[in-house]
Structure 1
Amino acid sequence: MKYFLTFVLALFLVAASVEDARKANEAYENENYKEAITLYKKAIDANPENAKLYFNLANAQAKAGKTKEAIRTFEQYKSMTDTPKERAKANYNIGNVLSKMKKWDKAVDYYKKSLRYMSDDADAKHNFELAKKKKKEQDEKKKQQKKQNKKNQKNQDKNKKQQNKQNQQNKNNDQNNQQNQQQKNKQNQQNQEQQKKKQQRPQKVSKAEAEKILKALEQKEKDLLKKFRKKKTKSSKSKNEKDW
């Protein structure tokens, strides 16, 4: 892309301003844009009405990568001149600055403005068509990116929904497991209590068993009584015997 730089200076400049402008032009040609900017500003301080100095300063700023400053200075230059050709050059250069920034939509607008003043400018036409092409590609890329972002968001929402569903299911499972465990613990406790009560209660015996036990007790009692009588009889005999 082509940048214009006007080196023509007004003859009525004071000597100091002319010298600063000349040195600024030399610095620009030597690609020392930082020094050129300083010298152009110094020349402008000496002669602020010289529009050409603003144009040259804007070019130096653009070359130095100071894009925002360059655009402002080109706009200021445009406000200082009524010449269609000069306005066309400023708009063309602003278009170039914006193209470097890949702001193709704005670049297209400035190339279009330039062509309104100079419709036969081949460079402006070329850059205008190029900027339109780049803008179309950029718009298509943004469209595809937007579509992809929408798809990604949809997938994220779907995954999030599934994750929430899984989390809820896990939560329900945990609650069910907890309830089951509590129920199990409660049942175990009840079983233990029932077993304890069962052990503490006298065991019930059947009628036959009761009669059997009773007969055994009666027999035992008879045996004991018989044994006692036998022992008593023996004792009586022992007392009746004489002691010789």
Structure 2
Amino acid sequence: MKELNKYLLIIVFASLWISLSAQSEKSLVRKGNKQFEEKEYSEAEIEYRKAVDKNPSYNKGKFNLAGAMYKQDNYEESGNLYNESAELSKNNNIKADSYYNLGNSLLSAKKYKESMEAYKNSLRLKPDNKDAKYNYEYARQKLIQQQQQQQNQDQNKDQDKKNDQDKKQDQNKDQNKDKKDQDKDKKDDKQEKDKQDQKQNKDQNGQDKDQQKQQQQQQPQKISKKDAQRMLDALKNDEKKTLQKLQKAKAKAAKSSKTEIDW
């Protein structure tokens, strides 16, 4: 009998603890709801977090906490909480609302493709949800615009890259042209210098030849010993012939004149 009473007391206390715990979670959520209605979203967040910390499977606290985070523009956390609420809930209406609000969080974060998927999940559960249909179409249009903007940005980026390449090529062409011009100027300068050097050398050679010619005219010509001997022999022959002529002339004169002797 005593053992039975003991077990009954345990059951009563356990039921009382569960009841008090549930009431505490609900009271925290109610308090949070009151602050949410007064647009005190950060204070509401605190109460909702207390409820979720007490019971992580208390879906109402999780759903309302996601709403408080959305109102504070924390779209990433609100989206995660709505997704958890959708997976946790066994009520199709709450599940559909969780997917719908998940779509809104993703839409606000400009994740248009993901938001469309969330709206489709909500419409599968509540096909008559006009807001989900409207938001789905709006997200689809925004996705098209986003893709078009991305395409334009990619094209502009490619065009900017091409312009940079063309500009670089033009700079290289200008540099090459400047180098060619410089090389041509150097070549022209060298050719001009070579012409001047050639002219100077020609003038110098002409002066050297004139000077050499003058020196040759001023200096007596040198003859070989053989030529000198030949000339000497020729002179001797001329002298001998001249002497012979003189001697003949004297003999002839002596014959033609008679000398008288005074006896």
Task: Tell me whether the two structures share a fold, i.e. TM-score over 0.5.
Answer: yes
Structure 1 range deviating more: 36-45 or 158-167? 158-167
How does 1:66-145 map onto structure 2 within 5 Å?
A: 66-145=74-153
For 1:163, give the aligned amino acid: Q
Answer 1 or 2: higher relative contact order, Cα 8 Å, separation at least 6: 1
Query: Residue in 1 aligned with 2:55?
Result: 47
Say whether residues 1:29 and 2:32 are aligned partners.
Answer: no
CA contact (8 A) 2:93 2:126 kept: yes
- When the two structures are aligned, how many residues end up with a matched partner? 202
Residues 1:198 and 1:22: Cα distance change in structure 2 (over 3 Å): same
Coordinate RMSD, CA, aligned? 3.5
Deviation at 1:20? 2.2
How does 1:149-228 map onto structure 2 within 5 Å?
A: 149-181=157-189, 183=190, 187=194, 190=197, 194=201, 204=211, 206=213, 210=217
2:27 to 7, 19, 23: 19
Deviation at 1:194? 4.6
Higher helix share: 2
Residues 1:184 and 1:208: Cα distance change in structure 2 (over 3 Å): closer
Q: TM-score, normalised by structure 2?
A: 0.64
Percent identity between the two aligned chains:
27
Unaligned segments of structure 2, at least 5 residues: 1-18, 221-263
CA contact (8 A) 2:104 2:115 kept: yes
Unaligned segments of structure 1, at least 5 residues: 1-10, 215-244
For 1:32, give the aligned amino acid: E
